[in-house]
Every structure is written in C-alpha cells, then in structure tokens.
Chains A and B, each alone.
Chain A
Amino acid sequence: MRKLYSYKDLEVSVADETEVTFSVELVSDGNIIATTINIPKLPPEEDPVIEDAGSVPMGKAKDLRGDATVVFSDIINLIPQEDTIEIHYKVNDELVLAHKNPKCEEVRPLVLLLIKFVP
C-alpha cells in the first residue's frame, strides 16, 4: 500500500492584494509527479495541475482565506541511482514544505498539503 505523507498544519502569511503563486521544485533526481491544487473558487476541472516541476498562479490571497487549500501530489521515483525522494513546495518563492522520504520506505509516495493563507 502506498504511503500517504500528510502535512495538515501549514500556514502562509500573505497580504490580501498579493498575487499568490504556488511552485513545485525537484530536489532529488528523476521524480515523476502530478500535483493538483484545489482552489476553492475554481470548478474542479479547472484546478491547476503541475507535472513534475513548475509554478501556477492561485489568484489574490484574499480569495484564498477560510478553509485550507488542498494540494495533492502523486510521486513516483523509478531511477535506480536515486535512493531518496525530495520535493520542495513553495508559495511566492518561500519554502512551505520540504518533503523527503527514503525510497526504501516508499517509492511512490502520496503527499497531501493543507495550507491556510492568513493575513
């Protein structure tokens, strides 16, 4: 069974009018990732998806208040030279979470982030 790494108490302080950008960065080599960001104001089929690494705009911070924003990653690492999976999640270039797990523990981790955007 694939292991779910759940990070539920993440909090990011951003001013109301600030545009928020969410990024995924690869640290370890050869990761294959799909990351979906559930933005409450968007219909589900329009939620942005980041393949492997990249950035997506999430709109103004004031529109992200209230419930936590859900980010869900499906990660695979199948290159034989790599023995650790490490991924960085960032908001406006600030590190929110550094996920790291040894491959002997899980080669296909699922990563869940619940991020609260506060003023």
Chain B
Amino acid sequence: MKTKIAILLSLMTVSLAYSQEKLTPLKVPASPASSVLGLQPTVVLTPKSYDALETALYSNFLGDNGVSVPDDFALEFTPYWTKDHGLTIYDYLYAKSLGEQLKRNTSFSVATTQNLVLNDSVNSTAIALGVRTSLYFPNKSDKQAVDSRLSELRAGQRTISAIGAQVTPFAFTDASFEDFWGHSKMHIESFLKKEYPNLTTEETNQFLKDLFEKGKEMGYNSGDNDTFLAAFINTIDEKLNGNQLYVEFEDYIKNRYGLTLDIAYANMISFPTNDFEYSILPKQAIWVTPAYKFKDEFDFLKVLAIVRYEWYDTDYYARYFENTQFYSNNLDYGLSAIGEFNKFSIQLELIGRSSSAEIPSGFDAQNNPLFRKVSDSDFQYIATFSYNLTEQINLSYSLGNRFGPVANDQNTLVSLLGLNFGFGAPSKKDLGLVQFKGE
C-alpha cells in the first residue's frame, strides 16, 4: 500500500511540476476501454483531450476501507501525435481526406480492473481494449473564423519579421539609441502603413511616439544588444495585440464551431480464474456520438447525441453471474449537454436503454430447444462535475442513477471520483541535445 501511495504521489508531483506551463487542459477521462469495463458510469464518451498519452486512476468514492489507492487504471494513446509531420496550420485544420482524419484522430485505450466480482464472491481481473476516432466536418462559419483570425495574426507577423530584419543591423553597431531610432523609424512607419492601411496618420505617429519613449528606457547598449532588441520587438508586438490574437485563435482551435462525429469500439477480456491462459470475451460495445458545438453567445455549450450498442456472451454471464437477470443486447440512446466555464465544466446525460435476450424455455415434442424473447427498458441520468486542478490534472465527480448493473441491479447509485493525468507527446528528437545561443 505504501508503495502505491508513493507512486501516486510521485505521479502527482511530476505532473504538477511538468504542467506549470502547459496549454492543453485535460478533460474528464472517458476512454472506450474504461467505459466498457464499467470504470466510468457515463454512457457518453466525451471527446479525447489533445494529449498523446492519458492515464486515469479510479476510486469508488464510498469505499469500504476509506481512502485507498485504486486498482482500476486506464490509459489512452494517440500514436499519430507522437512524432512530427511538418504540417502547416491549414494542413492541420483541414485534413485533405477522410483517411487522413482517421489517421490523426484514432486513439487506442487499455483499461484494467482487479475488482470484477464473480458470483458475489471471487475478485477477478478484467482488461478492456478500445479504439476510437473522431471526424470533424468543416463548415462556412468555421472557415470564416479561421481565415479572419489567421489573417490578423499573419499581418502582425509580417510586420514584426520585416521590422526585426531591418532594425537588427543597427542594434549591433557602436551607436546610441537616437542613432538606432534615426535609422529605424522610417522602416517601422513604412511597414506599418503597408500592413495596416487603415491606420490614420495620427495613430501611426502616436504608435511611433510611444515606441520611441519606451525604447529610450530599454537600456540600449552598444555592443551585444539581444536584450534590447527583444524588448523593442516585444513592445511592437504588444501594440499590435499579438498575444491577444494568439490567445483568441488558440482558444478557437480547441472549440471549433460545427459538427463532430465520434465512433468508438471496445471489448472486455475477463480472466475468471485469474489465469492468463484462460480468458473470455464477454462484452463488446460500439458508440456513435455526433456532437455539435455552438458559436457566439452559446459557445460554452456542446450538445451530444448518443447511440451505444452492447452485446454480451450469455454463456459467460450465466456461469459467473448466477441468479442474475441479464440480456444479450442493450441499445442505449439519449442526449448529453456539456457546459465549459474556464476550469470548471459540467456534463449532464439522459440515456434510455432497451434490452433484449432469448432465454431457453424448454423443448418441443421433437426435443428441439425452445426460447422466449424477453425485453426490458431502463433509464440513466448522471451529472459529472470536473475541475482542472492544473492544466494536466483533472478531478471529476459523477453523481446520479445508472442502469442496473449485471451483478447487482439494485445498486444504481453513482458516486465516483476520478483523477486524470495527461502527458505530452515525447518524440525521439526530444531525447537529443539542443544548443540555444543567447536568449
């Protein structure tokens, strides 16, 4: 137990340290594998975060032994983003084909539990394997939003690179700031007029005046002027709202308008005798989840429709879940809404279930087996609250009523705490040494 706690604390410490500057906050864990294993109660598979590798630890909030390190673990992995491809921003945003989208967005998940209770007494191990992908359908609003933001960013970049290329030679001569300014001013003015034709003469003059005043205070030092040059260029960038444009575009890329279609499959492998040589595939599931992201004043809202089909190995459940009502097929359908507000998000789902099975009911006169078809319906409603402790650690809590589980169909209360860790995409190149000259 102490070792497990130490590992958990180490993971949290490393992740906290690593995550200080990360820009890709995690979401509630929701991999196909963990879902088919029952580690997460929600039917909805929320879109995967952008990290190439995600891991999640699960713990029953109301456990018998108080707080404990969980035995349930899940991992999701997106192979495409573990290496570089040299994609331009347009290549990235608009994949050329369906196949390319599938390649980029396909992720694989593994989950394991040591708490699959068979016949109310035996704890067994189960592993789940899952795969999912996501297809985005670009639309006119999305294209306009991208083009408009990109155009503004590029104008600022052209201005800064042109000014940087022109003023640098003067920043490395044995001159005074006034000399530097005398050489640079006309170039700066010229580039501003070229990229920002709507600037009035007064606005341009004010821009130059402010830049001159700030530049004088930057400690121009004939000789090595990297620090001065960086400060000077940064002042121009600030006046052109460079950071604001960056943040707005980055935010948009993570929340693009329009329709996304997520498709997932997962299966569960049970080891009823805890022997690796003996395994059974008792449960499989397929999800189809269209999602729509709204824009403008409702841009915090995403609505998802859910269809999940599960099918079971009835022989397995008859043998290891005796005296239990079970169905060979479940069809789940419903709606979910996700609201995201900075670090906090809330997800509500309302899902209906239609179950059916054929049960042996004796033999006919010719001794042929007879079956009767039984069916049932159920309803699930769950709310999940999540909070990003850091950009790389997500804490979530689910509360609600779930479908009656196979083993104990009266146990429908959901009260589950989840902790999700994200890791970026390591590449072979990251292992090399890189020398930076100056800063």
Contact = CB atoms under 8 A, between A and B. Distances in A.
Nearest to A8: B437
Contact of A73 (B161, B246, B429, B430): B161
Interface stretch (B131-139, B249-257, B266-274): B249-257
B242 interface: yes
Nearest to A81: B81
Given A5-B439, A44-B166, A100-B429, A36 B87 contact: no
Contacts of B250: 78, 80
B50 A36 contact: no
Interface in A56-110: 67, 70-74, 76, 78-84, 86, 98, 100-101, 103-105, 107-108, 110
B301 interface: no
A76 B50 contact: no
B434 interface: yes
B84 A29 contact: yes
A51 interface: yes
A74 B160 contact: yes
A45 B193 CA distance: 11
B52 interface: yes
A26 interface: yes
Q: DSSP class of B's interface residues: helix, strand, loop or mixed?
A: helix
Size range of the chain B interface in the assembly = 35 or more
A15 interface: no
Contacts of B22: 104
A54 B424 CA distance: 29
B187 A112 contact: no
Contact of B157 (A26, A32, A44): A32
A14 interface: no
Interface stretch (B225-233, B306-314, B324-332): B225-233
Interface string B111-140: 000000000000000000000000000000
A118 interface: no
Given A1-B230, A8-B437, A29-B92, 11 more contacts: A2-B230, A5-B439, A36-B158, A36-B161, A47-B162, A52-B89, A78-B246, A79-B253, A80-B253, A80-B254, A110-B164
13 contacts: A1-B234, A2-B233, A3-B439, A4-B229, A29-B87, A32-B154, A47-B162, A47-B165, A70-B169, A101-B434, A108-B246, A112-B164, A112-B168
